[in-house]
Amino acid sequence: MTFRLSAFLLACGLTIGTGTLASEPECQGRFVNPITDICWECMFPMSIGNATVSSGSLPDTENPSSPIQFCPVPPPVFQRIGLAIGFWEPFALTDVTRAPFCMVNLGGVSISAGKLGSGGGKRQGAVNTGAFYHVHWYKYPLTWWLNIITDLGCLQGGDMDIGYLSELDPTWDDSSLASVLAPEAFLFANPIAQGACAADALASAVSKPLNPLFWCAGSHGSMYPFTGSVSNQASPQAASVLLSERMDYKLHRQGMILNSVGADTAVCYEYPSPIMPKDRYRYQMVNMYPDAGRCHPFGRTVMAWEAGHATPASRQNFGYLIWRKRNCVFL
């Protein structure tokens, strides 16, 4: 379920009573500039059928073998012909924050909703670290706004919406409740399964992540459990990227995100994916320090770019733009 921003803010005022919009000291953020803050090179590679018409710096996924596709439609037409195209679209934003209801990508506005648990981080000695963050998911149909692609079947339409708030999800801070949504998490909570993630980390560092290792988030850690807790925070940037990836996977599991498929005939539709296809996603930092020059496959280490994207006085509020591979039939 998604909520329009205006409807959500109105609901907060009606149901919370004392709810107000303000800027809390621990909350900071900025609006994303849809022109200067976006890595437009990340739209590529772009393909027609399986032929690349515009290359990019990052690897592509599978594409249909034929550029001409016939898609079933209701009578009396039955079939319609179109051109199979593939490109990468910016389709979502995420806030990762320790301050409840801190809308990082909406200018650092806080929604006062009473007393809720804050996120936090701790370091015990030199070996034990931990952190907890809230995550917000926004629908962000940028290609629709800018009319980059005009075919309705090949883009995400509509307005910018708030799609998910972890503060309203009781499973986000309770791993026992989260196991109801992902009971398979217990199968991968062992050194052997986690050790296999080294292969995923290597693959994402040099190319793209390995979909068969679906429980791995590459160099960032484990996709499970679907909570905001990070047991071993190597850096705030790594933890925030991991939780953005977890939220993406969680929304896939809940049926809230549909994916296209780069195969003949199947390209005509979108499908639910309880197991997220990791190789069809990329991330890019847009808050607090936009990195408009590059994006990264899911699971790729943050060591190459994290320098200069936080300060010692940082309140650890982050915003990311999520890119998704789109295969569709241009009619």
The residues of the chain scoring below 70 in pLDDT are 1-24, 113-128, 150-153, 155, 157, 311-313
Strand partners, 88: 325
pLDDT of residue 295: 93
pLDDT of residue 143: 82
- Structural domain of residue 129, as residue ranges? 3-330
Exposure pattern of 293-319 as b/e (b: 16+ CB <10 Å)? Answer: eebbbbbbbbeebbeebbeeeebbbbb
pLDDT of residue 73: 85
pLDDT of residue 130: 81
Cis preceding-peptide flag for 76 (omega within 30 of 0) = yes
pTM (2 decimals)? 0.87
Q: What total number of domains does the chain contain?
A: 1
pLDDT of residue 9: 44
pLDDT of residue 2: 43
- 186-212 residue pLDDT tens: 899 888 999 999 999 999 999 999 999
Contact 272, 258 (CB under 8 A): yes
Number of neighbouring beta carbons within 10 Å of residue 113: 17
- 25's CB contacts (< 8 A; 6+ apart) are none
Contact 310, 232 (CB under 8 A): no
pLDDT of residue 102: 93
